[in-house]
Amino acid sequence: MPEASWSVELPSGTHRIDVAYGYWFARATVKVDGRPTLASRPLLQMAYDRGVDLPIAIDGHHVLVMIRPNIVSSMLVSGYHFGLSIDGIAAPGTAPILPIARSRSLGPRVIEGLAWATGGGAVIGLSQHGSNPIAVAYLVAPAACSLLIRRSALPPRWLATACVAILVAGLFGTALLGTVLQR
């Protein structure tokens, strides 16, 4: 489990801040002076924004714990960078990490939801006709759309076009697989 610790000096005294992020369960935990202060599951934030900011308050000071994945390739994460800022200033011993600018666009999330909805509908339809292996094979298309959306910086229109192409190719691929398996 990736983790980091800081010792920060505030007017009220020295405080120890510990952060841990569990990749497999997407659980982030922040402790201040050994006491759990924040526990969250920023799964979607990590997937879409490629990082998460966890705000906490210590003695009236705005503290921001930042977690950023170290993306090696388009789909491979090899560790995490942690940062800490107090009232907008990087804490001593912290490399500067910019806070995430949140997008107001729901486009990628809507596109991914539609991809999984069409995938679920196709799986249900194929399963009712006794084509369970083909139904399971079709789930590759929405999964490919999810990976593309979560690991790409393309504009929403391009993502929508690419996902439609992937879903149509998935339908043709499963139809071809169905004819091959029926022979």
Mark whether 114 and 158 lie in a shared domain.
Answer: yes
pLDDT, the chain, mean: 78
Tokens of 69: 């994945």
pLDDT tens digits, one per residue of 116-158: 888 777 777 777 777 667 777 778 888 888 878 776 666 777 7
Please report which confidence band the pLDDT of residue 31 belongs to, taking 50, 70 and 90 as the band edges. very high
What sign results for the dihedral spanned by CA atoms 5, 79, 107, 96? positive
**Beta-strand (E) ranges in 33-94?**
35-40, 52-58, 61-73, 76-86, 89-90
Residue type, 95: A
The CATH number of residue 19's host domain is 2.40.128.180
Q: Which of 90, 120, 147 is the last residue of a domain?
A: 90
pLDDT tops 70 at residue 32:
yes
- Average pLDDT score over residue span 32-61: 76
Number of domains in the chain: 2
- Average pLDDT score over residue span 21-46: 76
Q: What is the pTM of this model?
A: 0.55
**What range defines the domain where residue 145 resides?**
107-182
Q: Which of 90, 123, 144 is the last residue of a domain?
A: 90
pLDDT tops 70 at residue 103:
no
Separation between Cα atoms, residue 68 and residue 49, nearest integer Å: 9
Residue type, 48: Y
pLDDT tops 60 at residue 161:
yes
Q: Which of 62, 57, 160 is nearest to 108 (CA)?
A: 160
Give residue 45's pLDDT.
Answer: 58
3-class SS letters over 110-172 = HHHHHHHHHHHHHHHHHHHCCCHHHHHHHCHHHHHHHHHHHCCCCCHHHHHHHHHHHHHHHHH
Give residue 163's pLDDT.
Answer: 85
Please report which confidence band the pLDDT of residue 102 belongs to, taking 50, 70 and 90 as the band edges. low
- Average pLDDT score over residue span 98-116: 69
* 111 in a structural domain: yes
pLDDT tops 80 at residue 12:
yes
Mark whether 80 and 136 lie in a shared domain.
Answer: no
Give residue 124's pLDDT.
Answer: 78
| Greater pLDDT, 126 or 14 | 14
